[in-house]
Chain A
Amino acid sequence: GAVVSQHPSWVICKSGTSVKIECRSLDFQATTMFWYRQFPKQSLMLMATSNEGSKATYEQGVEKDKFLINHASLTLSTLTVTSAHPEDSSFYICSAPASGGAEGPPDTQYFGPGTRLTVL
């Protein structure tokens, strides 16, 4: 099946610094990617929809100036957590539908392995 990678797999940073997380679709193109956040023993919560060549769409309650998303190519989306604080510590996961992003019936989404962010 389709493969989605994330880098880094884990990162530890100091409070106030910014961290960039990359999400890549390795063998398919993704005009749309999704970013989720998962706290311990909780479900995945959608943060934003990343759109290639246009602005990301953020879910209610997610600060777009804090979580910067750039979808610069058909295989790469990046999430930058700016001025990170301890409460931003979480597991960040991206996903991409395998269809190439065309509108139509929903397709299986493939998830990356996640990035564990710890803010000290």
Chain B
Amino acid sequence: GESVGLHLPTLSVQEGDNSIINCAYSNSASDYFIWYKQESGKGPQFIIDIRSNMDKRQGQRVTVLLNKTVKHLSLQIAATQPGDSAVYFCAENYYGSARQLTFGSGTQLTVLP
């Protein structure tokens, strides 16, 4: 059920520093994972994805790490910029689930000047 009064975990970083956002996923059968960025009042925006046959994938300023042993996913953002301030969600999917995504609880990233 829904959690009343739930507050998102928050992470504050100085501009220019690296950010690491963590996520624990729930389904050991999940084979596809995505990180989304959501700015206030907008829909989620795709950042990077990774399949379960990989443990690391790099994009532009972002890196996703996957540890299937402990069902843990992380997003690393290099040289964090003010425009990176947003809520970040991880999402998991497993083949055979009609490609439905299950979202994590999210982390609010705030970049300090």
Residues of A within 8 A of B (CB): 1, 4, 6, 32, 34, 39, 41-46, 49, 57, 61, 91, 93, 95, 97, 105-114, 116
Asked if A32 and B98 sit within 8 Å, CB to CB, the answer is yes
CB neighbours (8 Å) of A45 from chain B are 2, 103
Given the known interface contacts A39-B2, A106-B32, A106-B93, the answer about A114 and B42 at a Cβ–Cβ threshold of 8 Å is yes
Asked if B49 and A44 sit within 8 Å, CB to CB, the answer is no
CB neighbours (8 Å) of A41 from chain B are 6-8
Residue from the list A39, A44, A97, A112 in contact with B103, Cβ < 8 A: A44
Asked if A111 and B3 sit within 8 Å, CB to CB, the answer is no
Is B63's beta carbon under 8 Å from chain A? no
Contact flags (1/0) for B26-54 with A, using CB distance below 8 Å?
00000110101000011111100100000
Is B76's beta carbon under 8 Å from chain A? no
CB distance from A20 to the nearest CB of B (A): 18
Given the known interface contacts A108-B34, A108-B46, the answer about A114 and B41 at a Cβ–Cβ threshold of 8 Å is yes
Q: Enumerate 10 A-B pairs (CB-CB under 8 Å) in ascending A order.
A: A4-B43, A41-B8, A43-B106, A45-B2, A95-B43, A95-B101, A97-B99, A105-B32, A109-B34, A114-B41
